[in-house]
Chains A and B, each alone.
Chain A
Amino acid sequence: MKLREIAHSRTGDKGNISNISVIAYDAKHYPLLREQVTSERVKAHFAGVVEGEVVRYELPNLSALNFVMTQALGGGVTRSLALDAHGKSLSSALLDLDIDPGSDDK
C-alpha cells in the first residue's frame, strides 16, 4: 500500500531546507512508519530533488516523524528557479511511498 493510506503530511520551508512531517492517522501505525519510513528511503525517494542530507526526528506523542532535508529547494526559496520555489508540493510525493503492511491490519 501507499504511505498515503495511513499517514498525512505537510511541507515547510526555511532557506534551502525543506521539512516534511509524516503523521499517522491512527497511532497503531506509528511503529510501521518508524520502521519503514527511514531517512535513507526518503533520501532515495527524493533523488533529483534533495541534494543534501535527510535527518529524521521522532515525535511519539503525536505518532509523527519529521524529516529535515538540506539543499532541497534549488538554492533557497527566495532565489530558486523552480515553479514551486517553496517545495510545498513535496509532501504529496512522499505520500506515494510504498509501505509493506505486513501482518498489520490496514
Chain B
Amino acid sequence: MRTIRIGSGAGYSGDRIEPAVELAEKGDIQYLVFECLGERTVALAQQARMKNPEAGYDPLLEERMRAVLPVCGAKGIKIVTNMGAANPEAAARKTAEIAKSLGLSSLKIAAIVGDDVLDACKDGDLPIMEFDGTIKQLGNRLLSANAYLGAEPMAEALKSGADIVITGRASDPALFLAPMIHAFGWAMDDWNLLGQGTVAGHLLECAGQITGGYFADPGYKDVPDLARLGFPIGEVGEDGSLVITKVVGSGGAVTARTCKEQLLYEVHDPRQYFQPDVVADFSQVIIEEIGPDRVCVSGGRGHQRTETLKVSVGYVDSYIGEGQISYAGPGALARGRLALEIVRERLKVTGVESSELRFELVGVDSLHGAEISTRANEPYEVRVRVAGRTENLREAVRIGNEVETLYTNGPAAGGGAWKSARDVVAVASVLLPRDLAKPQVRFVGA
C-alpha cells in the first residue's frame, strides 16, 4: 500500500523555526506543512496590505523559507502553507525571490487566491453568527471577509506540479488533506476517507501540541526535552490509515494521551466537525500506541459537506486600555486590593467612559476570577491589573493612566507600572453559499 509522510512544521505564526528543518533533514517526509494563520491574522494582514500592496503575508515567511528551502529543494519535499495570509501572490513572489537567491530557481511556486469574499458578503448582507447583526451593519468598521477554503485548489496546484503551495485563509486540516488527495487520488465525495484524512490534519495542524507541547504537568504528565521538542509526522496510507510519530531522538513524546488531548482540541460535537470538504465524525476514533513515539489513529468517518463555507469577518470592535503595577512583601495583597479600589473610584470621579471593566490581581484571581480563586493563600507579591473597553483611544489611554498614577497617589511601595492602549480588531463569522467563493491557482515564475 502506498503511504506518504507529512511533517507539520509550524503550529502558529510565531512558532519555533528549527523543528521544521529537523523534519526536512531527518524526517523522511515528502510534504512539509506550515499552519501559521490565526483567527484574526488575515484581518490584521489586510490592513497591512492596504498600506503596501506587496505586504500582508506572514512576517516570518522569509525566515522560515530560508531555513527549509535548501533541504526541501534538494530532497524534493513539497511545501504547503497558509503563510500567504491576506496576500498569497506577494508571498509567492517573495518565496520565488528567496528560492532564486538560494540557487533553486527551478522550483514551481503556486498561490491560491479567492478566499477574499468581502464583496460577496456585502452583496448578500449576511447575518453574523456570534451576535445579532449583519455584515452591512458593521459599516466602516468592517475590514475583511475571508472564506475557509477546502483542499481542492491546493491539491490542484500540487497536481499541476507545484513544489510550494501558498494559500491565504483555508481550513487548517485541509492544508494536510490536500497532499493526501493529490497523492492517492481520493474522490471528493468519499466522505469517510475525507473524514479520516481530516482527523490526520486536525491532529497535525498544531505541530508541537501533539508531541508533548501544551501537555506537561510535572509529576503527572512528564515530557522529556521540551526545549528540543520534535514536531510531528503523519504517516498516511492510501486507505486513510494513520500513524503519528516524530523524528527519532528529538524532544517530546507521541503517546495515546497526547493524541487524545489533541483530537478533542477546539472540537465541539465530535460527531460533527464542520470542514469545507466534509463534515468529519471523530466519535468512533480509536487511538493505540504501537511502538515508541508511534500512535495508530483509526476510525475517523465523514458525512457529506455542507452547502456553505464559513467566513471569518474582521472588524474594528473597540479599544482596550490597560494598566498594571506590582506590590510585594508583607501586606502586598491588602495594598493591591486598595490600589484596585482607588482606580475603580478614579475612573468614576474622572468620568472615563467604558463599556466593560476588569479589576484583578495577577497571582491571585486574574485567570479564573474571584469565585474560583477564594481558596488561595496570601501570596508574597501581587500585580494589579485593570483593563477596560472603550469607544475610542483617548478613553482607553485614561485607564492605564489611572493605574500609573498609583505610583505617587496610591498605596505604599508600588513598582513596575505598565500601561497600554490599543484598538481591537476582532473576528466574527458568516456562512457563505459555497459557489460564491471562486478559488484559483496562480503560478509565479521562479
Q: Name A residues whose Cβ lies closer than 8 Å to a Cβ of B.
A: 4, 8-10, 12-17, 19, 21, 23, 25, 45-49, 57, 59, 61-62, 64, 66, 68, 75-79, 81-84, 88-90, 93
Looking at B67-75, B101-109, B267-275, B433-441, the stretch in contact with chain A turns out to be B267-275
Q: In the bound complex, how far is the Cα of B387 from the Cα of A82, in angstroms?
A: 8
Whether B367 pairs with A89 at a CB distance below 8 angstroms is: yes
Contact B264 A21, beta carbon cutoff 8 Å: yes
Residues of B within 8 A of A (CB): 39-40, 130, 214-215, 217, 220-221, 257, 260-271, 282-287, 299, 317-318, 320, 322, 356-358, 360, 362, 366-372, 385, 387-389, 424-429
Q: What secondary structure prevails in chain B residues at the interface with A? A: mixed
Q: Return chain A residues, CB-CB under 8 Å to B371.
A: 47-49
Closest partner residue, chain B, to A20 (CB atom): B264
Contact yes or no, A78 B40, CB < 8 A: yes
Cβ contacts under 8 Å, B299 to chain A? 61
Verify B39–A8 contact, CB threshold 8 A: no
With contact pairs A12-B265, A81-B356 given, residues A64 and B368 touching in the complex (Cβ less than 8 Å) = no
**Interface pair A21/B260, CB less than 8 Å apart:** yes
Q: Which of B265, B284, B299, B368 has the most CB of A within 10 A?
A: B368
- Judge whether B367 and A79 touch: CB under 8 Å: no
Q: How far is the CA of A88 from the CA of B220 in the complex (A)?
A: 18
User: How far is A60 from B135 in the complex, measured between Cα atoms in Å?
Assistant: 41
Distance between Cα atoms of A77 and B266 in the complex (Å): 13
Q: Quick one: given A78-B39, A81-B388, are A66 and B267 in contact (CB under 8 Å)?
A: yes
Q: B362 to A83, Cβ gap below 8 A?
A: yes
Q: A62 near B426 (CB under 8 angstroms)?
A: no
Q: Which residues of B contact A12 (CB under 8 A)?
A: 264-267
> How near does chain B come to A97, taking the closest CB pair, in angstroms?
11
- Of B217, B220, B320, B367, which is in contact with the most chain A CB atoms at under 10 Å from its CB? B367
B317 touches A79 (CB 8 A): yes
Asked whether, in the complex, the Cβ of A13 is within 8 Å of the Cβ of B266, the reply is yes
Given contact pairs A78-B39, A78-B40, A21 touches B265 in the complex (Cβ within 8 A)? yes
The docked-state distance in angstroms from the alpha carbon of A82 to that of B358 is: 8
Pair A10/B261 contact, Cβ less than 8 Å: yes
The answer to whether A49 touches B372, judged by C-beta atoms less than 8 angstroms apart, is yes
Among the interface residues B262, B270, B285, which one has the most CB atoms of the partner chain A within 10 A? B270
Interface contact A62-B260, CB-CB below 8 Å: yes
Point out the residue from A4, A10, A77 that lies within 8 Å of B220, measured CB to CB: A4
Asked if A15 and B264 make an inter-chain contact with CB atoms under 8 angstroms apart, the answer reads no
Provide a sorted-by-A list of 15 A–B residue pairs whose CB atoms are within 8 angstroms: A15-B130, A21-B261, A21-B264, A49-B368, A57-B271, A57-B283, A61-B287, A62-B263, A66-B264, A66-B270, A68-B269, A78-B317, A78-B427, A84-B366, A90-B368
Contacts of A25 in B (CB 8 A): 257
Q: Which residue of A lies closest to B369 (CB)?
A: A48
Distance between Cα atoms of A15 and B267 in the complex (Å): 12
Partner of A81, one of B39, B283, B358: B358
A66 and B263 CA atoms in complex are apart in Å by 11
Which residue from A13, A46, A78, A83 sits with its C-beta under 8 Å from B366? A83
Q: How far is the CB of B348 from chain A (nearest CB, A)?
A: 18
The minimal Cβ–Cβ distance linking A88 to chain B, given in whole angstroms, is 8
With both beta carbons as reference points, the residue of chain B lying nearest to A88 in the complex is identified as B214
B387 partner residues in chain A, CB cutoff 8 A: 81-82
